[in-house]
Amino acid sequence: MPDTPFAPAPVIVGDEPGSFPHGVLAERHPAVVRQVRDAFPLDPGRRRALDALLASCADGVVEPLPADADPTGRDRDRWARWGMDAYAGRSWYDVPWLWAESHFYRRLLDAVGYFGPGAWQGVDPFRPAKLAELDAPETDEELSALDGLDRLPADERIRALLHGSLWGNRADLGFRLSDRGAADTGGEAEPLVADDSDALWSLLPARGTGAPDRGPATLCLVADNAGRELVPDLLLVSQLLAEGRVGRAVLHVKPYPYYVSDATPTDVLDALRRLVAAGGAAAAHGERLWTALTDGRVTVRAHPFSCAPLPYADMPDDLREDFAEATVTVLKGDLNYRRLVGDRWWPPTTSFADVTAYFPGPVAALRTLKSDVVTGLDAKTEAALEASGERRWRTSGTHALIQVRC
């Protein structure tokens, strides 16, 4: 990580049996292969390719992309720049965990024929699961909660939507207003372990609040998952537009299916249609976003680096310029957090501002904790978490944070 004022912590790898990264490589990845194999009537050749990937996950090594994996050659060139020459031939467990995970999903797309010519070209192997979640009755319940938000004061309404985005598919928790996080908890760990939301609102003040007029704000929102996690992100963007907190929003999504549920442009359209079809306040949000997309106030981008196996410290110049132009860039979710701060064994009290000093503008993280990396906690909060008896507080998704570097 360039320009850090301290020695970087060790990179997280998956070589320790019993560790969370090892479990992802040894158990979650094979389960994903089986899920995809069972979800589609793939031909024998595709099924053999999935079986070969399954065997590789068990005891194989990282292999270069096959010659037919990328007809244009551009993706093969990118992966060469992203570390393929350094890691090919090594065990999945001995290379950086972030890199291994990303390469697994790229190889899975090869196995199902996503990039090559044929009937399965461009078919998202995870879309059945995404749509099932988006169409679940729980989604109706969460969207119906929007009808009551208009009765709340504006500051409480936007705060509720921020928490809905933070907690993703636990959006029912997000719509419950809570003062937890900064208060004295008597040594007990609270769900919200860091809360810099006031700093976020200082960057995106509402109209008429007396804040200095800096012109229309631009929000870059780097999305995480599709379905019931993308919907709250879109609702937050809609409300920020409605309140004049932002004049323009850029939604960054993945250019192709990734990490099972990560959002792509197709998933954005599915979520918008789901909002419009829901009726009530949800439909009003959906129609506002649809209009904003057509008139250019909201744009969707899918940069190739969004699927890179690297931290954002290594982002290319054109993406750096995008983020530099934003009033604030908000990165959603656990994977984006790992890429933002570096997927390393940082001490939890490591300064979030220090590890994100390279970022080309104000940056915020909205993240539930689902992996080991964490920064920016105060010593009291870390002590409470360690004393709580919850061994998996870093990975269970029961804790979350809102962190901002202005």
- Whether the CB-CB separation of 257 and 244 falls below 8 Å is answered with no
- Whether the CB-CB separation of 228 and 130 falls below 8 Å is answered with no
161: left (phi over 0), alpha (psi -120 to 50) or beta: alpha
- Write b or e for each residue in 386-399: b if 16 or more Cβ atoms lie within 10 A of its Cβ, otherwise e: eeeeeeebbbebeb
d(CA 378, CA 184): 12
- Whether the CB-CB separation of 375 and 348 falls below 8 Å is answered with yes
- Measured between alpha carbons, how far is residue 219 from residues 65, 235, 329 in Å? 36, 14, 6
- Whether the CB-CB separation of 261 and 126 falls below 8 Å is answered with yes
- Mode of pairing for the β-strands spanning 298-301 and 400-405: unpaired
Provide the residue-wise pLDDT of the chain in tens; the chain has 406 residues.
Answer: 444 456 789 999 999 999 999 999 999 999 999 999 999 999 999 999 999 999 999 889 999 888 777 767 788 889 999 999 999 999 999 999 999 999 999 999 999 999 988 889 999 999 999 999 999 998 988 899 899 888 899 999 999 999 999 998 554 322 333 333 333 334 467 899 999 999 999 999 998 665 666 779 999 999 999 999 999 999 999 999 999 999 999 999 999 999 999 999 999 999 999 999 999 999 999 999 999 999 999 999 999 999 999 999 999 999 999 999 999 999 999 999 999 999 999 999 999 999 999 999 999 999 999 999 999 999 999 999 999 988 899 999 999 999 999 9
- Write b or e for each residue in 116-149: b if 16 or more Cβ atoms lie within 10 A of its Cβ, otherwise e: eeeebeeebbbbebbbebbeeeebeebbebbeeb
